[in-house]
Amino acid sequence: MTIFWTFAAFAFALGAVVGSFLNVVIYRVPAGKSVVTPGSHCPICGHAIRWYDNVPILSWALLLRARCRDCAAPIPARYALVETLTGLLTLALWFKIGWRHFQDIDLFNELAVSTLAVPFGFYFFFICLLVVVTFVDLDHYLIPHEFTFPGMAIGIAAAFALSSEHIMAPGSMGGFWPPVTPSVSIIGLLVGGLTVVVIFVLYYAIRGAEGIGGGDVTLMAVMGAWLGWPSLVFIFFAASFQGVIAAGIGHLMGGRFLKHSAEIIAEHDAAFGGEAEVVAVGEPGEQEEQGELVGGMAVPFGPFIALAGLEYFFLGEFLPAELTMSYIYGIW
């Protein structure tokens, strides 16, 4: 088991290092900047960040104490948060894949590659995608198609690649959750996107406003591709419930973490040109009566779709079948 825990430590370190790069992606891609050049630098003074000041988590917390070495400008805790979150999710992925299989196989044969390395690689990409989408949506209230379209394609590819291996069959090597087959994945992509489109149309017809954006449609399609169409009911309702709770907490805190819908659209149009993606909370007509922080507020839906997807991926096999519709996977 010593080797198992060594790999666990490596998984966390890998996630933290990649999380550092995800910070670059989160900031630069929505702004239309290259993620390769220029290298990491302080946005205030422009000095390049030294390699020893770029160690994930540790540099921010211990070496730099959350300040630029050259100009002493504060470094947001968000950078370390993304690195830590990605590290913890990668560690959880290793436990999910490695715990039940690790003692049953020889690490240095072909079965180890198909049972551990292949699914770990695919779902590591899935986790990183959700981290990026979450923080971009929190920042800009939009989900760029540059993230979701490749996510759909790779999700379908993962279903084909993994279904050809032993790990996907329930009862084989302990099984793997969710056991997504190519047909379940493709239907999931189509149903995931179509379901949100229908909700979008109904919401607009009833309220005369856009409650869900196009990025949320493609993100639900991503979820269907990766987790299969049986996951979509759980993901949609779990995301909606948690989003409403978060919006309520935001209102109770005076709207500190929420934006007014008009502000979001103005910021988005100024920065990118286009249409912001939001879930409206509250009545716009209440604005004058109760104040701007109460009426017409908005909370991004993407982070809650991502959260619900992670909950389904990591915890779904332990939840009642009535919630996860797990009994359908064996049929398809």
Q: What is the pLDDT of residues 131-144, one digit of tens each?
A: 999 999 999 989 99
Q: Are residues 82 and 147 in the same domain?
A: no
Instruction: List the single range of 173-177, 185-189, 270-274 with lowest mean pLDDT.
Output: 270-274
Instruction: List the single range of 56-70, 76-90, 226-240 with lowest mean pLDDT.
Output: 56-70
Domain-embedded: residue 130? no
Residue written as token pair 């002493």: 72
- Please give the pLDDT value at position 117: 85
Considering 1-5, 69-73, 114-118, the range whose residues carry the highest mean pLDDT is 69-73
Give the residue from 104, 127, 159 where a domain finishes: 104
Domain-embedded: residue 290? yes
Residues 50-63, mean pLDDT to the nearest whole number: 87
Q: Are residues 200 and 313 in the same domain?
A: yes
Q: How confident is the model at residue 331 (pLDDT cuts 50, 70, 90)?
A: low
Look up the domain containing 5 and give its range.
Answer: 1-104
Token pair of 217, please?
Answer: 């449609």
Cα–Cα distance for residue pair 89/138, rounded to 1 Å: 19
> 310 with 222: CB under 8 angstroms?
no
Q: Are residues 27 and 79 in the same domain?
A: yes
Domain-embedded: residue 42? yes
* CA dihedral sign of residues 272, 275, 278, 280: positive
Q: How confident is the model at residue 165 (pLDDT cuts 50, 70, 90)?
A: low
Single pTM value for the model: 0.82
Backbone angles phi, psi at 178, to 5 degrees: -85, 145
Domain-embedded: residue 214? yes
Domain-embedded: residue 253? yes
Residue written as token pair 């999700």: 155
Which amino acid is it at 142? L
Give the residue from 78, 104, 130 where a domain finishes: 104
Domain-embedded: residue 240? yes
DSSP 316: G
Q: Are residues 331 and 213 in the same domain?
A: yes
Q: Are residues 55 and 154 in the same domain?
A: no
- Which burial class, exposed, middle or buried, applies to 308 when counting CB atoms under 10 A from its CB (0-12, 13-18, 19+)? buried
Q: How confident is the model at residue 273 (pLDDT cuts 50, 70, 90)?
A: very low
Q: How confident is the model at residue 53 (pLDDT cuts 50, 70, 90)?
A: confident
The larger pLDDT score, comparing residue 312 to residue 266, is at: 312
Report which of 301, 259, 280 is spatially closest to residue 204, judged by C-alpha positions: 280
Domain-embedded: residue 174? yes
Q: Are residues 91 and 185 in the same domain?
A: no
Instruction: List the single range of 6-10, 104-108, 160-164 with lowest mean pLDDT.
Output: 104-108
Q: Are residues 216 and 305 in the same domain?
A: yes
Domain-embedded: residue 115? no
Q: Are residues 298 and 183 in the same domain?
A: yes
Q: Are residues 70 and 195 in the same domain?
A: no
Q: Are residues 158 and 42 in the same domain?
A: no
Q: Are residues 204 and 261 in the same domain?
A: yes
Residues 63-68, mean pLDDT to the nearest whole number: 83
Q: Are residues 238 and 304 in the same domain?
A: yes
Number of domains comprising the chain = 2
- Please give the pLDDT value at position 226: 97
